[in-house]
Amino acid sequence: MKKRSLLAVPLILFCLVAVAFAGDLPWEMKLPFKQATIRYELKGSQQGTETLYVKDYGKIRAKHHTSSATIMGMAKKSDTIEITDPDWVTTYDLIEKTGEKVTNPTKLYLAEYNKFNSEEKRNFEKNSKELGASMMGKFGGSIKQKSAQHLGYDCDVSSINGMSTVYLLHGSDIPLRSEVSVMGMANSINATTVDTNATIQDSVFMPPAGITATSNQEAESMMTETIKHTMDTLKRPDGAKAMQQMGSPMMPVGPMDEQGMEDGGPMTKEEHAQMMKEMEAAMERMKRMKPQQ
């Protein structure tokens, strides 16, 4: 993974944390079902299928993804499994036969939040909502509760500046439909079935045979540092204002070349697509913040 991609992880978390905290505290959310198997169809520049398996009201999840895409005239296949539990988020690439894991951000956020005293918790809740509204406005975003339906389920519709629209199962972080259009590349993901009764085999949550996941220490360190800094700022009385005064959280950090970009030159379409993929993953992870029972 390139350095720029590694930097995108904490930067995206830094940017999206305010949005994730805009309503109730994310770890207070609870899915409306204990388990579910949700099947998706992918269309657009990326075509394929995805299946999301959910257990224990969302504390344990496995996303099985298979797709093919054409990027800059080159065909690229993707076959991955992402497994989320209270401790880790682990991604396996079945084509490259590699695995990578990072600490579930929920643990990091909760560890910091639980250090706060009563006043700091009140400051955090006030500042996060304030900052969330500000960030949504900055990105031209909006969230409309129960403004659409998909497969008979009420959905909360979130949109950002005409680039993306996501239909979330009301009262949860489960996307049932999403449409993203960036740099001429349009993609849609639509749930075709939601089954809350079928038995889910334990094997779908197990690591694939022959692949051992390793910890990405650079990404881990950067994510941990960003989360700690964000929480330390938002616990202050002036936390929201302080965060806003820091400038754009999407600006690159670290050494720059004469063109002003990490690792040389402007971002390519492939790198931009990867960054958007990481942004979607970061958003999902932050929305899944729940207390560990």
The contacts of residue 91 (CB under 8 Å, 6+ apart) are 80, 81, 82, 83, 99, 100, 101, 213
Joined tokens for residue 183: 């740099």
The pLDDT assigned to 120 comes to 96
| DSSP assignment string, 63-101 | EEEEEEEEETTEEEEEEEEEEE-SSEEEEEETTTTEEEE
The pLDDT assigned to 213 comes to 96
∠ CA 39-147-61, nearest 5°, is: 30
The CA distance from 196 to 108, in Å, is: 30
Low-confidence ranges of the chain (pLDDT < 50): 1-22, 248-273, 275, 282-293
Question: So what CATH class is 3-287?
Answer: mainly beta
> Can you list the alpha helix ranges (DSSP code H) found in 118-251?
118-138, 217-234, 239-245
Taking only the tens place, the pLDDT of each residue in 139-195 is 667 778 888 999 998 998 888 777 788 898 887 778 999 988 876 778 899 999 999
The pLDDT assigned to 287 comes to 42
The pLDDT assigned to 26 comes to 61
The pLDDT assigned to 6 comes to 37
Count H helices, E strands: the chain?
6, 12
Domain edges within the chain: 3-287
The pLDDT assigned to 258 comes to 28
- CB atoms inside a 10 Å sphere around CB 199: 7
Closest CA to 285 of 183, 192, 173, 117: 173
Report field, pTM of the whole predicted structure over 0.85: no
Where residue 247 falls (left for φ over 0; alpha for ψ -120 to 50; beta otherwise) is: left
The CA distance from 70 to 90, in Å, is: 26
The CA distance from 220 to 209, in Å, is: 25
The structure tokens 């590349």 sit at 185
